[in-house]
Structure 1
Amino acid sequence: MITASQLRTARALLNIDQKTPAEMAGLSLPTIHRMEASQGNVRGVVDSLMKVINALNRAGVDLLSEHMRSDDGGRGVRFRHPDTLLGMPD
């Protein structure tokens, strides 16, 4: 599971507002707002969450779940080179 704070952190790494991941994932702005307002794990439709995760991955951010392989373990957010720029600022 992905936490709301991971989504907010991913946006901060990319220096984007909530509207940008909504557009990247083909979702509404209120959907992103609700996801980020969740307490703990993101609540909502799994398909919508996967769209956001995939869009952020394409932009260069990996969201690490609790059981995902990581050298140090635990949840997190990792910044890497984006697959595509998707109109992101330099």
Structure 2
Amino acid sequence: MKPVQCKMARVALGWGVRDLAKAAQVSTQTVVRLEKGEQLKSSTIDHLRNVLEAAGIEFIPENGGGPGIRLAKTTTR
């Protein structure tokens, strides 16, 4: 997950830094540091990504158009 993807995911969910930090049980400073592009442990980045994916975000890899995100399709029954 790229720093910009984290921020885009938060915005798509309507979450602020505090919301993501609370959902991931990390400090707000950790989220801010990630979004600034600072080096974090890969396990921390993976954890934040997993939290965002569980909330309905799909990460799109860089494929010539740059990395991105989208809201996952919901299944209806």
What TM-score does the superposition give when structure 2 sets the normalisation length? 0.81
Q: Which runs of 5+ in 2 are unaligned?
A: none
Deviation at 1:75, TM superposition (A): 2.2
Indicate the residue corresponding to 1:62 in structure 2. 58
1:51 aligns with 2:47: yes
Higher helix share: 2
**Aligned with 1:80 (options 56, 72, 75):** 72
Cα distance in 2, alignment partners of residues 64 and 43 from structure 1: 21
Deviation at 1:66, TM superposition (A): 3.4
Does the C-alpha gap of structure 1 residues 81 and 20 become closer, same or farther in structure 2, counting only changes over 3 Å? farther
Cα distance in 2, alignment partners of residues 37 and 14 from structure 1: 19
Q: Which runs of 5+ in 1 are unaligned?
A: 83-90
Indicate the residue corresponding to 2:14 in structure 1. 15
Deviation at 1:81, TM superposition (A): 4.8
Query: Between Structure 1 and Structure 2, how many residues are aligned?
Result: 74
Query: Cα RMSD over matched residues?
Result: 2.1
Indicate the residue corresponding to 1:88 in structure 2. none
Post-superposition Cα deviations, 1:29-79, rounded to whole Å, max 9, x if no partner, equal: 1000000011xxx63111111110000001001123337xxxx87522011
Paired letter, 1:51: H
Identity of paired residues, percent? 26
Superposition misfits of 4+ residues, deviation over 3 angstroms: none
